[in-house]
């Protein structure tokens, strides 16, 4: 299974406004639309970080399509895409850039949005990536100069661009760290053994980490069916799974009733 961790940084929209609070910005007031400043990505388990930024293309918005081509190619190879708030933010921005550049949709990949998993499974005080990583003792976001960093990049400041690329790449690193920490908690994590083309007689393997260190762990009872339950014993995983073969025959189930 090829897992791609990725993140993008975007420029703000520029507009004429009458004030600072509760503004309704109409299209005639829009001076410049937002666009992608940079992207960074890495294959899970690989130390190499791949990135690109608009400064490499004369810092011109019209060259955005050339800048995102590298990420498009990576997405074409990926089985799984991992990001933070990526379903709502990163993927939609990338799709817009691909579409505007005349590209076809990338090959469909399974999406694992860690932000959704955090919101669904936990109750942290904040769901921001930096806060979660700090709570778990992981690396955290790169400190930066605030909005001045984005403004400097838009104006072509090379120091700001170097800082932006570092910030973007580090986000990918900490996203991977959080992904590894959270994997047994991710409900929609695709099955690694499925992608590795299992054959008859292969040992049972954990869906989340691929380890064959899996043991029986009780019975999973559904409404009218039961399955063998399994738990991964690999250190740092502990994923809970169940088999796909019914434990009881049709005759055994014939005496069961269901509520109406």
Instruction: Residue 133: give its domain's CATH number.
Output: 3.30.420.10
Residue 193, in any domain of the structure: no
Do 172 and 56 reside in the same domain of the chain?
yes
Going by the DSSP 8-state scheme, the letter that residue 13 receives in this structure is P
For 31, 47, 63, 140, the CA distances from 94, given in Å and listed in that order, are 22, 24, 14, 24
In contact, 140 and 121? CB cutoff 8 Å: no
The answer to whether position 59 is within a domain reads yes
Beta strands in the chain (DSSP E): 3-11, 14-15, 30-32, 35-43, 50-53, 80-83, 110-113, 214-221, 226-232, 240-246
| Same domain assignment for residues 214 and 102 | no
Say how far apart CA 82 and CA 4 lie, in whole Å.
6
Tell me the per-residue pLDDT of 16-62, one tens digit each, with 9 for 90 and over.
Answer: 999 999 889 999 999 999 999 999 999 999 999 999 999 999 999 99
Does the residue 22 lie in any domain?
no
- Reference 17, options 6, 34, 30; nearest CA is 30
* Total domains in the fold of the chain: 2
Same domain, 156 and 206: no
Q: What is the pLDDT of residue 192?
A: 82
Residue ending a domain, among 154, 185, 216, is: 185
Asked if residue 154 and residue 106 are part of one domain, the reply reads yes
pLDDT of residue 210: 84
Give me the pLDDT at residue 187, please: 86
Q: What is the pLDDT of residue 124?
A: 97
Ranges under pLDDT 70 in the chain: 197-198
Listed residue (1, 25, 21) closest to 13, CA to CA: 25
Residue 40 within any structural domain of the chain: yes
What is the per-residue pLDDT for 198? 64
Domain region containing 172 = 3-15+29-185
Domain match, 216 and 151 both:
no
Q: Are residues 238 and 155 in the same domain?
A: no
pLDDT at 197: 65
> Nearest-CA neighbor of 169 among 82, 41, 64?
41
Eight-class DSSP state of 56: G
């Amino acid at each position: 299974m090829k897992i791609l961790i990725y993140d993008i940084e975007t420029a703000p929209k520029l507009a004429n406004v009458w004030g600072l609070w509760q503004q309704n910005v109409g299209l005639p007031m829009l001076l410049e639309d937002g666009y992608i400043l940079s992207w960074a990505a890495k294959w899970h388990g690989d130390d190499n970080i791949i990135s690109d930024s608009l400064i490499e293309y004369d810092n011109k918005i019209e060259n955005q399509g050339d800048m995102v081509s590298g990420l498009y190619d990576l997405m074409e190879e990926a089985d799984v895409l991992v990001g933070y708030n990526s379903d709502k933010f990163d993927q939609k921005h990338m799709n817009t850039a691909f579409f505007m550049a005349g590209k076809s949709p990338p090959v469909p990949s399974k999406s694992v949005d860690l932000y959704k998993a955090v919101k669904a499974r936990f109750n942290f005080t904040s769901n921001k990536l930096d806060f979660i990583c700090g709570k778990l003792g992981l690396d955290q976001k790169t400190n930066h100069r605030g909005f001045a960093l984005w403004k400097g990049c838009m104006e072509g400041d090379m120091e700001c661009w170097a800082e932006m690329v570092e910030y973007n790449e580090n986000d990918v690193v900490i996203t991977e760290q959080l992904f590894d920490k959270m994997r047994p908690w991710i409900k929609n994590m695709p099955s690694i053994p499925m992608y590795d083309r299992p054959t008859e007689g292969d040992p049972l393997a954990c869906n989340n980490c691929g380890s064959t260190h899996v043991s029986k762990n009780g019975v999973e009872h559904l409404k009218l069916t039961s399955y063998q339950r399994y738990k991964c014993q690999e250190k740092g995983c502990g994923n809970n799974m169940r088999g796909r073969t019914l434990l009881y025959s049709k005759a055994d189930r014939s005496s069961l009733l269901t509520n109406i």
